[in-house]
Amino acid sequence: MVPTDRDHTSVVALVECALVELTHEAVGAVFVAREVGQSTRTQYVAADDVGKQFQKRHFDDRLGWHETTIPRRIVRDELITQLTRSPSTTAERSGEGAASEPDTFVVKPVRELRTP
């Protein structure tokens, strides 16, 4: 479950730790956002061994997979934004009540990531 009750500093620290792990280990970060009737999955995997470029894989129930390479700064900003989004923001955005399941964020081995 996403720690939406955390202060900004602790979320930034979590994201920085995740980025270090992505750079030095064979792991990927996965953020799953759930709204009523749909979900999106965003995966981030280091594209180089110095942590400057990352592969972003985004899956939307309606649109399928989209892959792109983005710089570390954008990964950092996206993760901070996703992890600081409140549950009420998700419900407001969908125009309905709270999602049936909470958003999740995990770091897991690359071999366990779902791919297109």
Q: Could you state, in chain order, the average pLDDT of each consecutive group of 10 residues for the chain (116 residues)?
A: 73 95 95 86 95 95 92 97 70 52 91 80
Q: Identify whether the C-beta of residue 106 lies closer than 8 Å to the C-beta of residue 43.
A: no
For 49-102, give the DSSP string.
Answer: SSSSEEEEEEEETTTEEEEEEEEHHHHHHHHHHHHH--HHHHHHHHTSS--SS-
CB half-sphere exposure, 70, CA atoms < 13 A: 18
pTM: 0.82
- What pLDDT does residue 116 have? 57
Question: Over the Cα atoms of the chain, what is R_g?
Answer: 14
Q: Which two tokens stand for residue 92?
A: 């407001």
Buried b (16+ CB within 10 A) or exposed e, 53-67: ebbbbbbeeeeeeee
Dihedral sign from CA coordinates of 108, 112, 114, 116 = positive
Domain boundaries, the chain: 8-110
How far is it, in rounded angstroms, from Cα 20 to Cα 24?
6
How far is it, in rounded angstroms, from Cα 64 to Cα 86?
25
